[in-house]
Amino acid sequence: MQPCCRDGVNHNDLRAMANKKFELKDPSSGKTSELLVRSGTIGPDVVDIGSLTKDHGVFTFDPGFMATASTESKITYIDGDQGVLLYRGYPIEQLAAQSSFIEVAYLLNNGELPNPKRLADFSVSIQRHTMINESLLRMYNGFHYDAHPMAMVSAIVASMSAFYHDSMDINNPRHREIFMHRIIAKLPTIAAAAYKRSVGQPFIYPRNDFDYCSNLLHMYYAVPCEPYHVDPLAAQALDLLLILHADHEQNASTSTVRLAGSTGANPYAAISAGVSALWGPAHGGANEAVLEMLEEIGNVDNIPKFLVQVKDKQSHVRLMGFGHRVYKNFDPRAKIIRDMCYRVLAKMGRTDNPLLELAQRLEEIALKDDYFISRKLYPNVDFYSGIIYSALGIPRSMFTVMFAIARTAGWVAHWQEMISDPAYKIGRPRQLYTGAVKRDYVPIGKRG
Ligand code: ACO
C-alpha cells in the first residue's frame, strides 16, 4: 500500500489540496479509498486513518508515535521548529512574566484566564484542600528509609483512591472538579511528606495562609523546633519553574495518564501512572540526571572526553538535558530558565556556581559541534532546571517530584478533557506481530 498523489499534487503538501482528502491505493488489489484530512486551528493537518483498517485490512505502524496525533486537544500547542509553546493560546513567555502557577493551573483546566473573583475562589479552594488523611501519612513509615521520593509519591497518589471515593464518579463533572482541586492542592503535601521521610524529619503540616510555593518550601524546610521564614525570592523562582513545567501537550506522562484514564480507571490511579512515566531519565528524570552528569564531568577540561563518549553509540551515554522529540530549534522553556538561573543566582549572591559555569561551557561547546547541530539537539527545559533547584536548596532526589507537582495541573486538564468528551474510547493500540506462527504444544518429555 502506498500513499499516492491526488491530481498530481505532492502528497506531502496536503494543504494544497482543496478538498483536503488523501487518496490511498492498495497496489495489490487496486482498491482505493479516501482519507479525510483534518485541520486544527494552527499546526500541521492530520490524516484521519479511521477507515484504513475497515477499507484495506491494514494498520499503521508508528513506533514511538513519531508521526501520530493520538488525540484532538484544545489545551497546549507546540511549534517545535519555531520554539513556540502556548497554554490555551497564551505564549509561555507572557505567562512566565505575568502569571502565577495557580492562575496557570486554572487556565489549563478551565480554558480561560480567571477574573479576579474566580482566581481568588480557586486559590482559596486549593489552599483549603492541602491536608491529606492521617492514615495516608502513616503509610510513609512503611517505605524503606532510602526509598526514592518518586516511588513514594506514585504509591501515595494511587492510594488516595482508597480515601476519597466519595467523589470519584468520573462521569460526574462536579466530582471531576473536586478531584482537580484535591490533587493540585495535595501534591505539595504528598511531596513534602516523602522528602521528610527521606531525611528522617517530622512531617510539617501545610499552612493555608501561605501561597502555593511558600507553603511548599515551608513544608520542606521547616522543623517543629524553630521558626522558618520562606525566602520570597525562592518562592517566586519556584512558582516560575512550576509554570514552565505545567503542561506540554501529549508528552509521555500525559499520554500515560490519558491511556490509563481511558479504561475508566479512577483519576488517582491515572495520575499515579503519569508520575511513574515521568520518572524515566528520558523524560522528567532528566533534571536529576543532568546534575549527575555535570558532577561526573567534573570540570571544563573533561568536556571533550565526555562528548566523545556521547557520540559513541555503543557507550549508551547521552548528553542529558539535550534533545527533544518536538523542539528541533530551541526549547522556549530552556531559554527562560537559563535567564532565570543568572538572575536568581545573582540575587542570592551565588554567581560563582561551578555547575552553572560547567553547564554553560558544555552548552556552548555542544551547540558548535556538528553531531548536535546535524541532529538538531538543543538544551531542553531540564538542562538548567536542576541547577536552579539546587540553588533553591531542593535536594536532587526531589527534582523530578517538583516536575510532577507542576505537571499535575496539565495531567488533570488532559484527563478532564478526555473524560468529558462523550466520544472518548479506551486507548488500545495494535501491533505488527513478528513472533512464532501457530504451532503445537510439545510435552516436556518430548523436548530435546
Ligand atoms: N545526546 C546524544 N545524542 C542524542 C541525544 C542526546 N541527549 N538526544 C538524541 N540524540 C541522538 C540520537 O542518538 C539519535 O542519533 P542517530 O540519528 O545517529 O541515531 C538522534 O539524536 C535522534 O534521537 P532520538 O532518540 O531518536 O530522538 P527522540 O525524539 O526519540 O528522543 C529524547 C528525544 C528522549 C528527549 C532524547 O533527545 C534524549 O534522550 N535526550 C536526553 C534526555 C533528556 O534530556 N530528556 C528530557 C526531555 S524534555 C522532558 O521530558 C521534560
Distance CA 336, CA 344 (A): 12
pLDDT band at 432 (very low <50, low <70, confident <90, very high): very high
Per-residue pLDDT tens digits for 296-338? 999 999 999 999 999 999 999 999 999 999 999 889 999 999 8
* Nine-digit cell string for 125: 479552594
Distance CA 228, CA 213 (A): 14
Extract the runs of DSSP E, i.e. beta strands, from 208-355: none
| Residue 394 contacts residue 272 (beta carbons within 8 Å) | no
Per-residue pLDDT tens digits for 176-217? 999 999 999 999 999 999 999 999 999 999 999 999 999 999
| Residue 85 contacts residue 51 (beta carbons within 8 Å) | no
| CA 322 to centroid of ligand 1, rounded, Å | 7
Nearest atom (ligand 1) to Cα of 318: 1
Which residue has its alpha carbon closest to ligand 1 atom 21?
A: 375
Which of 382, 414, 421, 440 is catalytic? The answer is 382
Which residue has its alpha carbon closest to ligand 1 atom 16?
A: 375
Per-residue pLDDT tens digits for 261-276? 999 999 999 999 999 9
pLDDT band at 2 (very low <50, low <70, confident <90, very high): very low
* Nine-digit cell string for 284: 522528567
Q: Which residues line ligand 1 (CB under 6 A)?
A: 64, 282-284, 286, 310, 318-325, 375, 377, 380-382
Which of 218, 283, 324, 414 is catalytic? The answer is 324
Active-site residue, 382 included? yes
Nearest atom (ligand 1) to Cα of 325: 29
Rounded to the nearest integer, the mean pLDDT of the chain is 92
Which residue has its alpha carbon closest to ligand 1 atom 41?
A: 320
Q: How high is the pLDDT of residue 352?
A: 77
Active-site residue, 248 included? no
Site of grid cell 538542562? 383
Residue 233's alpha-carbon distances to 152, 192, 341, in angstroms, are: 29, 20, 12
Name the nearest CA neighbour of 285 among 176, 446, 403.
403
| DSSP assignment letter at 188 | H
Percent of the chain whose predicted confidence (pLDDT) is above 70 = 96
Distance CA 133, CA 150 (A): 19
Residue 249 pLDDT greater than 80, yes or no: yes
Q: How high is the pLDDT of residue 19?
A: 58
The structure's pTM equals: 0.92
Pocket probe mutation, ligand 1, options 329, 362, 377, max atoms within 8 Å of Cβ: 377
3-state secondary structure of 6: coil
Q: What angle do CA 438, 444, 448 make, to 5 degrees?
A: 85
HSE toward the beta carbon, residue 69, CA cutoff 13 A: 17
Which residue has its alpha carbon closest to ligand 1 atom 36?
A: 323
Residue 5 pLDDT greater than 80, yes or no: no
